[in-house]
Amino acid sequence: MIVGLVPNSHRNATRRVANEVALIMESQGLRVIRDWKEGAEVPDLLVVFGGDGTILGTARRCGHLGIPLLTINLGRVGFLAELEAHELSQYLPRIIAGDYHLEKRMMLKVTVRREGGPIFQSEALNEAAILRQGVARMIRLQILIDRKPLIRYAADGIICATPTGSTAYSLSAGGPVLMPETQLMVITPVCPFAPALKPLVMEGNHNLTIIPENEKAVLTVDGQDTVTLSPGDDVEIERSPYHISLVRLKEQSILEVLGRKLQL
């Protein structure tokens, strides 16, 4: 079995923990690729050490490879993490033995087209958000589903989230929580001018197009990849052909995780 380790490159503590885990795994006969990078040999399992940002970045880079991810929280909230750092010693024998199940999570494919041609493309595990740029006035957005006009409205922005991302930015903006195993998208307006405008949940087999009409805006994917949008750009969002497989060692529901992480 080949295991790749992905520590947060900006925190020495994650490297220290990753090195300790590597020594134990190697002593059990596993081949370990320390500080795994995309383009290296494809492992059977990736162990990600860090917070949600590290996990999201790894998921976007590796979705097309189909490598299962085991996520270890060494950040703050760690919503996406399966284990806390202090739980590693307890679960390491099961990890080495492959005694776990995989939970598939839907991803989004995000494409920006300008004058008919693509200028940006990325995958998202959490969400794609289109937001007003700086302190500019509200942006006016045209929303289409399957290329059919749905609505136009003015707002500070709009979020399109996966079930995984429904507990992140979308939740803060008033969106619902989606069960993680579903194939759904939630479209959540950010501070709309019309307060009656509410989030919309739709099946993942639909395609969403968002067009900023009056102002420059910013598209951000999982809070990390960004691109500046000009009026008239098409932002196309659809279910990705790829998914992320998360290693699960515990039997816990999303509601239990919400309650614990948010201290509800």
99 alpha carbon, distance to own chain's centre: 25
d(CA 84, CA 86): 6
Q: For residue 222, indicate whether it is catalytic.
A: no
d(CA 46, CA 67): 7
Catalytic residue among 52, 222, 225, 234: 52
d(CA 260, CA 264): 7
The residues carrying an active-site annotation are 52
